[in-house]
Every structure is written in C-alpha cells, then in structure tokens.
Structure 1
Amino acid sequence: MEFRQLQYFVKVARKQHVTQAAEELHVAQSAVSRQIHQLEEELGVQLFVQKGRNLQLTSVGKLFLCRVEAIMTDLERAINEVHEFMDPEQGEIRIGFPHSLGIYLLPTVVARFRETHPRVKFRLRQGTYNSLIRDVVKGEIDLSFISPFPEKHNQVTGDLLLLEELYAIVPQEHPLARNEQIRLEQLKNDSFVMFSEEYSLRSIVLEACTKAGFTPKIGFEGEETDTIRGLVAAGMGVSMLPEMALTEISQLQPSKVRVIEPRVTRSVGLIQRSGDKLPLVAEGFRKFLLEFFIHRS
C-alpha cells in the first residue's frame, strides 16, 4: 500500500468523482482509477459504488476513510513539526473561523502577526459552529475562532477573546432608520432576514426577540453576513448583525441602529483540542491573539 494510493482515495471520497479528483491532483484520470483499483484489490474489498455519475463510499469505505484521514492528519502534523524544529518561523498555522469574523477580524490579526513573522503560512478554513468544533476535535485544524464561545465542552478548550455587540439593521427608508437607539420590540411587526438554522447567530437573534416578547416573522434566510446585509438594504426586511460584520462599506448599505433593550451580545473565543499540545508556531499565534485582545479591550 502506497501513500499516493491513500491520497487518491481521500480525494475521490471527498469529490465523489474520479475526473474532478484527477483535476485537483493534476494527474490523469486513468492514474487515479488505477490506484483506487489496486487499493481495493490489496484490501480485498469494494471501497466505492457507482451512483449515477458519482462514486459513493461503501460502508467499509466510510470506515476506511475515517482511519486514513486520521493517518494523513498525523503525518501532515509530523512534517510540520519537523519543519518547525528546523525553523519555527517557517511553520504553518491551520485555523478555522466563522464567516462573520472573516470580514474584518481574521485579516486584521493575520496581517498584524505576519508583520513580525513574515514566513509563517496560514491555512484557513471557514465553517459553521458545529463544523469548526468537529474539525478541531478531528485534528484537521489547530485553532479556531468560534462564536458563541463554548464555556464547557468535553473535547475542546480555549480562551474567551471578547464580547461583541449586535446591532439592528434596517433599510435606509425604514421609519426607525434615523434613530440612534431602539428597543427590539419596535421591530416586532417587521419581517426578519435570518441566518439559516446551522448558524449560531440565528439562535442569538431568536433568543433576543423572545426576551423582547415576540417571535419574529422570518421572510428570508441566508448563510453569510453579506447576504443578510444586502437583503436588508434592498428592503426585504430587518435583521441583527455583529458590529464587525458592519464595518465594510458597500453599495447596498442598511442603516445600523443600537438596540438598548434587550442589549444583545455574542461571545467570541479561540478553541483547540483538549489535552493537545499545539505546534510551536500555532502556540505562538495563540499567545499573540491573547495579547492582542487584552490591549484591544
């Protein structure tokens, strides 16, 4: 069994398509098919079944994928540790983040860190609350920004970085658009543009509306802050977004209004796998972030 076979197997399993896997691997489709066939022959099992134009993992294929991904992650980490040992300033940091922190916060801290560590590389992964925790637990990323910060979790640990205020956003022609502050209940008759169910900001907004004494009417749903902001600016409803998600100026710009009752905040933290020792370069970035947010507060 060769390392290349495992690489090809993982890529085909993720893409569910030999042609697409071959394109990403920059090899011929026949080479990928041949390596997968040889791997199946060596194992004596069928790893994939054809379903339409796609390939799907068999039950034993899914089991094998879990083990192979763990091996690949450990091998990648071992390679990084060797590079760090030779030169700690040349390592790679694998970090996850939710979309709402990718607009301003993530670029800011990465750029600041690279001012003094210019040769450090970053591998970034965007995800939802649950997917980011899963990726940290599986060892696919070293660190992750997360919101809300999980105070108690069996498999991850970390540090609370900040509490961020959420603002109401309304179309510029809305009757409350020129107000400096409002009570959330003043929006109870409006249609809300809400995040999809897998996003933690949705539950924060729903909980705030419940505290204000009403259940919001949901007119539209989206998956990114830019989409939410754009729909509100276009007059499709109202919503609530974190302050950092409102820093960018665009052509479609809603009005931002402070909510004083109830005051709505979200916690933002940094997590890593419990009981795990971070690579040197990732530990250095973690310490930099803690110092950065102490001085920011």
Structure 2
Amino acid sequence: MELRQLEYFVQVARLQHVTKAAEELHVAQSAVSRQIHRLEEELGIRLFMQRGRNVQLTPVGQLFLKRAEAILGDLDRAVMEIHEFLDPEVGEIRLGFPHSLGINLVPQVVAAFRKLHPNVKFKFRQGMYPSLIRDVVDAEVDIAFISPFPDKNDQVIGEVVLTEELFAILPENHRLAHEESIKLGDLKDETFVLFSSGYSLRPIVWDACREAGFTPKIGFESEEAGTIRGLVAAGMGVSLLPEMAMYETSSMMPAVVKVSEPRINRTIGLIRRSGEKLPQVVHMFHTFLLDFFQNEYKPR
C-alpha cells in the first residue's frame, strides 16, 4: 500500500467525484482511477459505488476513510513538528473558535501574536460548542476558544481565560430602554430573540430566565449576533448579549441595559486534547494567550 493511494482515496471520498479529485490533485483522471483500483485489489474490497457521475463510499469504505484520514493527519503533524523543531517561528497553528468571538477577540489576539511572530501561519475553523470540542478531540484543530468552558470532559483540558457579562438589549423606544439597570424578571412578558439551538448563548439566556422565574417566549431565532441586534432594534423583541457582541455597530442598534438580578455571565476558555503535548509553535501561542488575557487584554 502506497501513501499516494491513500491521498487519492481520501480526495475522491471527500469530493465524491474522480475527475474533480484528479483536478485537485493535478494528475490525470486515469492515474487516480488506477491507484484506487490497485488499493481495492490489495484490500480485497470495494471502496466506492457508482452513483451516476459521482461515486459514493461503501460502508467499509467509510470505515477505511476514517483510518486513512488519521494516517495522513498523523503524517502531516509529524512533518510539521519536524519543521517546528528546526524553526518554530515558521510553524502553523490550527485555531478553532465560536462565531461570536470571530468579530473582535480572535483578530485582536492573533494580530498581537503575529507582531511578535510574523511568520507563524494560522488556519481557522469556526463552529458551535459541540463541534469545537469534537474538532479538538479529532485533532482537526490544535487549540480552541470555547464558551462556556466545559465543566467536565475527559477528552479535553484547558483553562478559563475570560468571564464576560451579558446585558439586556431592548428597542430604543422600550419603556426600560433608558434605565441604568433592570431585573431580568422585568422582561418576563416580552418576546425574546434568541440564538438558534446549538449555540452556547441560548442555554445561558434560557437558564437565566428560568432563574428569574419565567420561561422566555421565543419570537425569533438567529445564528448571528448582528441579526439579533437588528431585530431587537427594529422592535421585534428583546434579548441578552455579551458585551463583545456590541462592538460591531450599524444603523440599527438597540439600547443596552445592565441586568442587576440575576447577574449573567459566560466563561470563555481555551481547550486542547488531553494527554498530548502541544506542538512547539502551538505551545508558544498558548503561553502567549495566557499572559495576554492576564496582563494585556482590554475589551474594545
């Protein structure tokens, strides 16, 4: 079995098309077909089924794909570790983070790090709470920001780097819009605009409302903080958002009011795989982040 066969197999599996895989690999289609055929002969199984002009993995092909991707991933990491050992200043960091941190926090910390290490490269991967943990566990990313920080997970370790307060956002003409602070219970009869299921801020808001003695009435759901702000500003309801979600401004901005009771916070942490030593360049970035949040970070 040759490494080239695994590379061709993985590319065909991802694209479900031999011709497109050949184009991506910059080789002839016949070369890809030939290597896949030889791999199937050596394994004694069918890896693909024809589906019109596309191909589809067989059940055993799906099983083999996971192993092939793991082998190629380990090889890529081995090559990267060698390069980093020779010069960590030219390494690559694969960083995961939720969408809500992509507007300000991630660009801020990456820009600060690259001032010190300008040749380090980054690959970014955004995702929701469950997918970020999965990406870390599956070695799709080296390190990830996550919110809230997971209380118990044997597969990841990490630390809380930031605690952020959530504020009520209201239409400008709302009766409470110009109060210095409110109790969350004051909004019990309002329609709420919340993040869609799967986004970590949704259960934080939901639990806070339950603690305040009511279940929020959901009028609208969205996957973007900007959309939630706009809907609230347009009078479609109220919501709770962290301070970080207010940095981006537009012509449609709601009133922002402090919530005195209950106090609502979210934790932001860094996670990495348990039981594994970070690559040198990632360790350098991790150390930088811990110092940055302790001594230098200032909300914008």
What TM-score comes out, normalization by structure 1 length? 0.91
Change (3 A) 1:285 1:33: same
Query: What is the CA distance between 1:103 and its match in structure 2?
Result: 0.9
The equivalent of 1:40 in structure 2 is: 40
CA deviation digits over 1:19-43, x for unaligned, max 9? Answer: 6555655566665555444433432
- In 2, the alpha carbon distance for the partners of 1:161 and 1:26 equals 44
Change (3 A) 1:12 1:182: farther
- In 2, the alpha carbon distance for the partners of 1:54 and 1:264 equals 50
Q: Say whether residues 1:279 and 2:279 are aligned partners.
A: yes
Q: Single out whichever of 182-191 and 50-59 deviates more from structure 2.
A: 50-59
The equivalent of 1:8 in structure 2 is: 8
Amino acid aligned to 1:221: E
Query: What is the CA distance between 1:53 and its match in structure 2?
Result: 6.6
RMSD (Å) for aligned C-alpha atoms: 2.2
Query: What is the CA distance between 1:135 and its match in structure 2?
Result: 1.1
Change (3 A) 1:34 1:144: same
- In 2, the alpha carbon distance for the partners of 1:216 and 1:23 equals 52
Q: Could you list the runs of 5+ residues in structure 1 that have no partner in the other structure?
A: none
Amino acid aligned to 2:155: Q
The equivalent of 2:290 in structure 1 is: 290
Change (3 A) 1:37 1:269: same
The equivalent of 1:82 in structure 2 is: 82
What TM-score comes out, normalization by structure 2 length? 0.90
- In 2, the alpha carbon distance for the partners of 1:55 and 1:172 equals 55
Q: Say whether residues 1:132 and 2:132 are aligned partners.
A: yes
Change (3 A) 1:253 1:8: farther
CA deviation digits over 1:232-261, x for unaligned, max 9? Answer: 233322211111111111232222221111
Change (3 A) 1:34 1:158: same
Query: What is the CA distance between 1:173 and its match in structure 2?
Result: 2.9
- In 2, the alpha carbon distance for the partners of 1:197 and 1:23 equals 38
**Aligned with 2:282: secondary structure?**
helix
The equivalent of 1:210 in structure 2 is: 210
- 1:214-253 to structure 2, matched below 5 A, reads 214-253=214-253
The equivalent of 2:148 in structure 1 is: 148
**Aligned with 2:158: secondary structure?**
strand
The equivalent of 2:269 in structure 1 is: 269
The equivalent of 2:195 in structure 1 is: 195
Amino acid aligned to 1:91: G
- In 2, the alpha carbon distance for the partners of 1:236 and 1:31 equals 58
The equivalent of 2:109 in structure 1 is: 109
**Aligned with 1:45: secondary structure?**
coil
Amino acid aligned to 1:93: I
CA deviation digits over 1:24-71, x for unaligned, max 9? Answer: 555666655554444334322222335577544322122111111211
The equivalent of 1:98 in structure 2 is: 98
Q: Single out whichever of 222-231 and 17-26 deviates more from structure 2.
A: 17-26
Query: What is the CA distance between 1:190 and its match in structure 2?
Result: 1.8
- In 2, the alpha carbon distance for the partners of 1:23 and 1:192 equals 49
Q: Could you list the runs of 5+ residues in structure 2 that have no partner in the other structure?
A: none
Query: What is the CA distance between 1:210 and its match in structure 2?
Result: 0.2
The equivalent of 1:64 in structure 2 is: 64
Give 1 or 2 for the bigger CA radius of gyration.
2
- In 2, the alpha carbon distance for the partners of 1:223 and 1:27 equals 40
Q: Single out whichever of 49-58 and 123-132 deviates more from structure 2.
A: 49-58
- In 1, the alpha carbon distance for the partners of 2:25 and 2:236 equals 43
- In 2, the alpha carbon distance for the partners of 1:23 and 1:241 equals 45
